[in-house]
Structure formats: C-alpha cells, structure tokens
Amino acid sequence: YQEAMELAYFGAKVIHPKTMAPAIAQSIPIFIRNTFDADHPGTRIFHRRALTRSLSGTLAEAKTIVSGFSTIDDMALFNLEGSGMVGVHGVASRLFSALDRIKVNVVLIAQASSEHSICLAIPAANAVTYVAPATIIAAVGDNMSETPGVCARFFGALGRAKINVLAISQGSSERNISAVVRFQDSGAALRAAHAAFFMADHAVSVGILSPSAASTVGMALQSQLFTQSQVLVNRFNVDLRLCAVACQSPTTNGSSTRPTAVTCSVHATGFDAASLSASVDVASSMAEWHRHVQVDHIPHAVVVDLSNDEATLSQYPMWLAANCHIVSANLHVASMPVTWHRQVAAVQSLHKVTVDSNASLGMSVPVLSTIQNLLLTGDSVERVESSWSSLFNALVAKLQGTAELAGAAVDSVLSQYAGLSPQDMLEDLTGLRSAKKVQMEDHVRGNFV
C-alpha cells in the first residue's frame, strides 16, 4: 500500500492515495487491470509483511527491491544559498513560512549538511529564480534503505545515459529515492532507470553493418542471433536487442562506400518476428547510423562490422567514443597505420570499450584471443602454423590426387562461397587475404610493420 501511495504522489495517475484508505484499513487487496489486455493478471496492491534487513547486498536484491518508477513534470528547482545561512537559527523556518503564506506547495527538499544551501522543487508557475523546466524521477520500493546497491544501480543507470542530476532527495521512510533532472532528459532518465531494474542484467543493443542487404554473412548472423536470443536470456541473462542494420550501397564506380539506409527496430523486445517486421528504413550516413544503436535505455551497445571496407575503419574511434563495443570481421584492420591502432587503443582505454577481431580469421575460432591469453600469462609464441584461405583449401581438397579440377567441381566449391564478391575471391586465391590475416596475428604479438 505504501509503495502505491508513493507512486501515486509522484505522478502515477491510475490511483489516488485517498481512495486507498478504506482498503488499507481493512487490508483489502486492490487489483489494477488493463482494459485493453483482459488476460493480463495486472497489479495487486496489498499489505506486505515487514521485510528483514539483508546485509549480503547481492545484485539480485538491489535489482528486485524497486517496485516502480514515476515522474512529475513541470517542476522548478529553487535554490537558496549564502554563507550567512551557516549555523543561523530559523532560516529554514522563515523560508517555508514565506512559501506557506503565498500558498506554494513544496514537493521536494534537499539541504546540504553544511547548511550553506537549501534546494526546493516547487511547481514551475510559482518560481522566481529557478532552473526550469525540471522533472522529478522517483524510485519507489519497500526497504530500499536497508538494501545495499539500490542507489548505485539507480544513479549508475542515469550516469550511463549521460543524464545530469540537479538535486537528490531520500527520506528516512526507506521507500523513495528522488532525483531532479532537466525536463528534456526526463524520458531518457525514466527509460534508463527502468532498464536497470526491470531488464536482464546484460541488455545489449546490436547494430550490424553489412556489405549489402543480400549479404549471406549478414543474414546468417541475424538468423543465428534470432535462434539463440531466448537461450541467451534463459541461461546467461543476456538480452539482445537488434536496433539497426546498415547496408552499404555501391557508388557509380562499383565500390562499396557509406551506408545510405538503416533498418531500425529500436524498441524490439528481442529478435522476434514482430519486432523485425516493425522496422523502418531511415536515411543515414556512416557518421550517424551508430546513433540508432547507442540508445539511452539499453546500457550496452555492440556494432558488428561485416563490411570488409577500409573506409569503415576511420569511424571506429568515433563509435568507441560513443561507448559502442565493436566486433570486427574487417580484414583491412591489418593494413591500417600504427597511428590508427594507437588512437583506437587510447579510445578503448578511455571509454572502457573493446574491439574484438576474432571473427576476421580462423572461421571464428578464437585465434587472436588465444595468443593474447598466452602472452598475458607470460608465455611466448614461437611459431604459428595455419592455412588461412578456406576457399583455396576447398579447391585443393577437390583435387583428390589429380592435377586438374573439372569445371563442375570448381562450380560446386564456388557455390559454397556465394556470399563472397569476385574481388573477395580474387584476394583470397592470390593470398592477399591470407597475408592480412598473418599481419593481424603479428599485431597481437606487438609487431607493427
């Protein structure tokens, strides 16, 4: 009951605190149902027994203790500051008496322990000097003050969404944490806080940069993620959200350049058919499309680069600076100058994001990470034996002791690599792609030539 009254006070319109009084007096449960979804069980408001204090402070307890979020818009933040206030008796009394005389309702109060300032949230129409428009976002749940980690999760979510908090208030009732944010940030703040407490522990937005809409690799990746999405949620508590698929289009000279269209499914609940069918085409550019991936209500973002385009690599520092992790299948990483590698490494360190290039070689066998782990544990790599061209290996396997390849045999091999462009096949058979893979392996060992 107390949680419901807190939510009602902070803007929840479905119930009013005064209408709950008869039910509270008789401990009668209140049920709230959705008229448009009659099969949904709805919300039950009831008398909860007193909760015992938990000293373990596990993440699960911090996550489940909050019952809901609510906001109050059209507020103004009023600050009274001055060095003459410190230790002076009656300052707060004079302030609130003055507000009472002119019938101004104070919604939120925050005062620093130094007594140097008093901060109030009042209706915007009553303010004289103020920060407005502002919004109060409240997290409501029983026994929050007795559960370690709730504040950290709440304000951590706002911080990751780059929401600036203007004021904070938490009373001793242990049921409410309130933060004042700018009105234009209220939607993003509410989505970020909701995601932190009610989504999977590891919610990830995924963006795929594909060489074309008909790319075999891009379609196979989406199919694999579609198949595995529910397994990831059930077994690993990882919730993948497909937010954008960018497809490169050819220029007049036939070379692939910037993506001109992005297919977005920003509010997808996963890789379900309904979400994918609801996607829309949005004109975008290479420099802008990642904004469809880095959405404020999902804490983690991953860009999957399947383009194998050297021009794409110039965007890596910007994507990393936007807090997007990168999974790269782009072989041109090997031919980038040392200055580019140093810039990417610096941005990774600053923003705590990663670039994973394991998908670029070895048919996704973790060759690069294996070498890295060997080096991190003090081992040294003396020799690496490999055959990096799968197409060349398939053609050689068809020889079967003869010196010639029949046309039908060649066609059957090439049909397995229909996703490769003629240019990719040429680079593979001439050894250029193998050379780049060897160079990538050498970079992992710290050798840049």
pLDDT over 70 at 13, yes or no: no
- Return the sign of the alpha-carbon dihedral for residues 189, 195, 198, 202: negative
First to last CA, the chain: 68
Domain boundaries for CATH 3.40.50.720 within the chain: 202-370
* C-beta separation of 107 from 121 below 8 A: yes
pLDDT digits (tens, 9 = 90+) for 347-361: 999 988 999 888 877
H/E element, 395? helix 390-399
Closest CA to 117 of 167, 165, 69: 167
pLDDT over 80 at 339, yes or no: yes
Higher pLDDT pick, 249 / 358: 358
Range 166-170 contact pairs with CB under 8 angstroms and sequence separation of 24 or more: 166/77, 166/131, 166/134, 167/77, 167/108, 167/110, 167/119, 167/121, 168/110, 169/108, 169/109, 169/110, 170/145
Q: For the stretch 404-421, what's the b/e string if a residue is b when 16 or more beta carbons lie within 10 angstroms of its beta carbon?
A: eeeeebeeebeeeeebbe
**Average pLDDT, rounded, for the chain:** 75
Superfamily of domain 59-198, CATH level 4: VC0802-like (3.30.2130.10)
CA distance linking residue 381 with residue 387, whole number of Å: 17
Ranges assigned E (strand) in 183-294: 202-210, 238-250, 256-264, 280-283
Task: Tell me the two tokens of residue 29.
Answer: 């449960």
Question: What pLDDT is recorded for position 261?
Answer: 43
- Return the sign of the alpha-carbon dihedral for residues 445, 446, 447, 449: positive
Task: Tell me the two tokens of residue 335.
Answer: 């031919």
**How would residue 12 be classed by pLDDT, with cut points 50, 70 and 90?**
low
CA distance linking residue 312 with residue 331, whole number of Å: 11
CA distance linking residue 105 with residue 216, whole number of Å: 62
Pairing, β 30-32 against β 165-170: unpaired
Domain boundaries for CATH 3.30.2130.10 within the chain: 59-198
Q: What is the mean pLDDT of residues 249-269?
A: 43
Closest CA to 105 of 130, 133, 80, 124: 124
- How many Cβ atoms from other residues are within 10 Å of residue 318's Cβ? 13
Q: What is the mean pLDDT of residues 74-95?
A: 76
pLDDT over 80 at 178, yes or no: yes
**How would residue 45 be classed by pLDDT, with cut points 50, 70 and 90?**
confident
pLDDT digits (tens, 9 = 90+) for 24-37: 888 888 888 888 88
pLDDT over 70 at 364, yes or no: no
pLDDT over 50 at 273, yes or no: no
Query: How many whole angstroms from its chain centre is CA 181?
Result: 20
CA distance linking residue 16 with residue 9, whole number of Å: 8
**How would residue 334 be classed by pLDDT, with cut points 50, 70 and 90?**
confident
Question: What pLDDT is recorded for position 303?
Answer: 93
> Cis (ω within 30 of 0) for the bond into 41?
no
Higher pLDDT pick, 288 / 156: 156
Question: What pLDDT is recorded for position 55?
Answer: 43
Higher pLDDT pick, 92 / 165: 165
pLDDT over 80 at 445, yes or no: no
CA distance linking residue 159 with residue 395, whole number of Å: 54
* C-beta separation of 326 from 430 below 8 A: no
CA distance linking residue 180 with residue 133, whole number of Å: 10
**How would residue 302 be classed by pLDDT, with cut points 50, 70 and 90?**
very high
Torsion of CA 343, 346, 351, 353, to 10 degrees: 80
The class of domain 202-370 in CATH terms is: alpha beta
